Amino acid sequence: MNDLHEKSAVEILRLIETKAVSSREVTRHFIDRIETVNPLLNAVVLKFYDEALDRADRADAVLAGGEKTGRLHGLPFTIKECFDYPDTPSTLGVLARRDDRPPATDAYVDALMNEGGIVLGKTNVPQLLIFIESENRVYGRTNNPVNPAFTCGGSSGGEGAIIGAKASPVGIGSDIGGSVRFPAAFCGICSIKPTMWRTPDLTRYGAERLEGAINSVAGVLGNHAADLQLFLEIINERAAQMFDGRPLGDYRAVDVERLRVGYFLSDDFFEPMPAVKRAVLEAVENLRSAGVETVEFRPPRFQLAEEIFYRLMTVDEGRIFTDVLEDEKPLPQLKNLIMLNKTGPSTRALLKTLLKLFGQRSVVRLLDYFGGRGAEFLKIWAEKQAAYRDEFLAEMDRARIDALVSPIAAVPAFLHNTVDKVGLGGNYSLLYNVLGFPAGIARVSEVGKEEAVGRDAGLDLRDRTAAKAEALSAGLPLAVQIAARPWREDIVIALIDRLHKQK
């Protein structure tokens, strides 16, 4: 069967169960796909082919005996590099961790394997899992599967690239500021970031941050809504065994025609290109034609969400990130953030004056958010975060809104070697990390040739960077971000499913 990569994970599982295809055939098919596309992508950086085929053979033997291992019986999938897997490093893209070996398999990976899933390999990440360019000195750089001149996103960028190339049916990543959403959007697939308290990031690096006000969560990337549901169900069940979890609703039980969906086109600071706005409006119209009530919504105090995020993530000079680097030099995108974060108040004031003269308003605004120190500072801003969440929910209540549709970024994707110039380029994604809302990505269109026109950029380096990306963006996928109230992942996935069916 030569078209397995065109099928959903759920469809493949049905084929395996009915013995229309063996697990070995499926696993071999995706291994061959990886070997075909990976030389261009550099997405899968650690390969477990022999072990995967061995597990596939065992799955076939179990099925021949009339039994099943679990819900993922014989299904291959991939995992982000930071998830622990036996006898393989979890480097986070850091040279000092190349010889790192985990004491145990990550809890979520273990849960998926216990259900019969087969890990094909680990996928690439940015240095320290920070920023939306999946590049590091351990494995190199990963390319976008649609246009290799562009980044695949990050930090779950390798997952986005290999799933976007249909060389893995589904995979897991983590998200603290957009890390399963940017790759899905840039690579033309779908994804789900759960509610902040549902599936806490249990990787050893992520667990260090569990006491913070903005925590990383494990999420799922795939090509089909049903696959997001299936994988999220399994990792949610494992999380519920370890924490006070909540049951996950089934998206198929959501009556989308009873939903009221808000939408917005801009954060009023980093204006999206016209094609991105078109994608949002097309998604809204598609939902409206399906019977969904839609209304324009203006998020309250967007800049406050931005400030909360950066103040909480950079407290104490962001040492929780930079200490892991040890003696390794940070790559440009991380270097600039570290430099700005360590700058003292007087130097920062001088920098702001100079940057204003040169029209760099994005960096000037970012500089205002650095310099916080200590537990009391963290407590104050965590309280502001909680108050902002209450304010946002109150606005949704007033508008009687169940979900929100918006851009995920101002451009469809960024060119390589430009992410360090974007500055405040991630506001659309980080909003839902601050709020703790579930959020996902649906692909709805692509950039037309006539739409690939760079904006009138002016002096700001961020806008000039965006203009270059826009001018070369023809053919790139266009996605929308969908968010809902806490614990309503079922609504997010239901809307993803509806939009994908109407493409």
Sheet of 477-484: strands edge to edge?
44-47, 118-123, 76-80, 170-175, 217-222, 190-193, 439-446, 477-484, 403-406, 260-263, 293-296
Number of CB atoms found within 10 A of residue 383's CB: 11
Note the pLDDT tens digit of each residue in 258-306: 999 999 999 999 999 999 999 999 999 999 999 999 999 999 999 999 9
CA–CA dist 208, 324 (Å, integer): 11
Can you tell me the mean pLDDT for 227-240?
Answer: 98
Catalytically annotated residues = 80, 155, 179
Kind plus residue range of the DSSP H or E element containing 110: helix 107-114
Per-residue confidence at 503, pLDDT binned at 50, 70, 90?
Answer: low
pLDDT above 90 (res 318)? no
Average pLDDT over residues 72-85: 98
Q: Give the count of alpha carbons within 13 A of 413, CB side only.
A: 35
Q: What is the CATH number of domain 258-501?
A: 3.90.1300.10
* Cα gap 281→150, rounded to integer Å: 25
Average pLDDT score over residue span 429-444: 98
Give span(s): CATH 3.90.1300.10, the chain.
4-246, 258-501
pLDDT of residue 337: 79
Percent of the chain with pLDDT over 70: 97
- Beta strand 118-123 with 190-193 is unpaired
CA dihedral 281, 441, 248, 229 (to 10 degrees): 110
Q: State which amino acid sits at residue 407.
A: P
Instruction: State the fold for domain 4-246.
Output: Amidase signature (AS) enzymes (3.90.1300)
Position 388 confidence tier, pLDDT thresholds 50, 70, 90? very high
Summary mean pLDDT of the chain? 94
What pLDDT is recorded for position 210? 46
Q: Degrees (nearest 5) of the Cα angle 399, 266, 414?
A: 140
Q: Are 50 and 12 in contact (CB under 8 A)?
A: no
Of 340 and 133, which is predicted with more confidence?
133
Q: Where residue 448 falls among pLDDT bands split at 50, 70, 90?
A: very high
Full-model pTM:
0.97
Cβ atoms of residues 108 and 202 within 8 Å: yes
Q: Which residues contact 32 (CB under 8 A, 6 or more apart)?
A: none
164 pLDDT higher than 50: yes
Q: Tokens representing 184? A: 């899905």
Is residue 208's pLDDT more than 90?
A: no
Q: How far apart are alpha carbons 15 and 23 in whole angstroms?
A: 9
Q: Is a pLDDT exceeding 70 seen at residue 50? A: yes
